[in-house]
Amino acid sequence: MDCPACGGPVTLEVGPDKPPSTSLTNAVLDAAEDERVDVVRTCWACGWQEERRLRVEAIDTTAGDDAVIERAALLKEITDELAAIEDLRTLEDTLAEVRRQRRLEPVAEDTNEDVTE
């Protein structure tokens, strides 16, 4: 999008409580019913700025893969929990444990296939 004042490039930021890299699409799709999504468009060339607030009134879904929906909900819950952790050491330990678990996953799956009854 171009700036309506000078024609320069415009950046789009989404909030509140969203990482700077969050796209508007993801912010809207991740929003819960009655949640507010703030959108700020800024031109760094001339200083023009516009702020809009969107509120999700209702969410209607037609269909979806239950496993995908459950995975997305778990990822959101995990992300929210991690965002609440302020202790750097705890985050480092958590990352190390996740990586350890991921290394073990293929081994666990392979050993289950080799088991005969």
Boundaries of every domain in the chain? 1-58, 61-117
pLDDT at residue 109 is higher than 60: no
pLDDT 10s digits, 9-29 = 999 899 888 887 888 888 888
Helix, strand and coil percent figures for the chain, each rounded to 5: 45, 20, 35
SS3 at position 83: helix
d(C-alpha 117, C-alpha 115), whole Å: 7
Name the percent of the chain lying above pLDDT 90.
40
Amino acid at 84: A
Q: pTM for this structure? A: 0.47
Answer whether 36's CB lies under 8 Å from 54's CB.
yes
pLDDT 10s digits, 73-108 = 899 899 889 988 999 999 999 999 999 999 998 764
